Amino acid sequence: MNLYTTSGTPEFMEKIKEKHSGENMVLLHGAGNSLLLHETEGKTVFQTPKRYEVIGASGQLAKHGYYIVNNIPVTDEGRPIFEHRFQNRANMVDGQPGFLTFRLLRPVKDDTYRVVTAWESKDHYELWKGSQAFKGAHERKEQTPPAEKVQNIFSAASYITEYETEKPEDEKL
């Protein structure tokens, strides 16, 4: 399974989504732009997409909700280590109140993995962040090895982007 993304103005992204209404797409609105997700076994309809392989999934792409995208730049050498660590944590979010969707996305042409989760609301996401399950998913399980054995698998700092499926009120006018 592949997941493709493209971004632009809310109006343009909406036109693409409407034109391809038979495709599995979700339109997300964030700070300053909109992001259109297209999940498919085949090719995308986007002209200039970012392409990801879905290597972990739970739930369907939620048509309505609050989305969190954790952007994690990983070195080429660090990819197997990162993926192994995530495979051991992937289902820790399942069953949490308000949880809808999880996708672990391997980048095809860059170094930034994306961890996508969808929640019924921002409040549900905040509850998850304060839960024991969250702490368990984010703690380091292994003992810290000596400094000379530590491999930095990250090529830059990670960052989170937040989206909603509904346009903010000031953009609806």
Average pLDDT (148-157) is 77
Degrees, nearest 5: CA angle 157-138-55? 75
Verdict on whether the full-model pTM lies above 0.85: yes
- Summarised one tens digit per residue, pLDDT across range 50-72 is 999 999 999 999 999 999 999 99
**Can you say how many angstroms the Cα of residue 98 is from the centroid of all Cα atoms in its chain?**
16
β pairing state of 34-40 and 50-58: unpaired
- Summarised one tens digit per residue, pLDDT across range 101-130 is 999 999 999 999 999 999 999 999 999 999
Domains and CATH numbers, the chain: 2-138+151-167 (3.30.70.100)
Question: What CA–CA distance (Å, rounded) separates 5 from 173?
Answer: 26
Exposure pattern of 26-51 as b/e (b: 16+ CB <10 Å)?
bbbbeeeebbbbbbeeeebbbeebbb
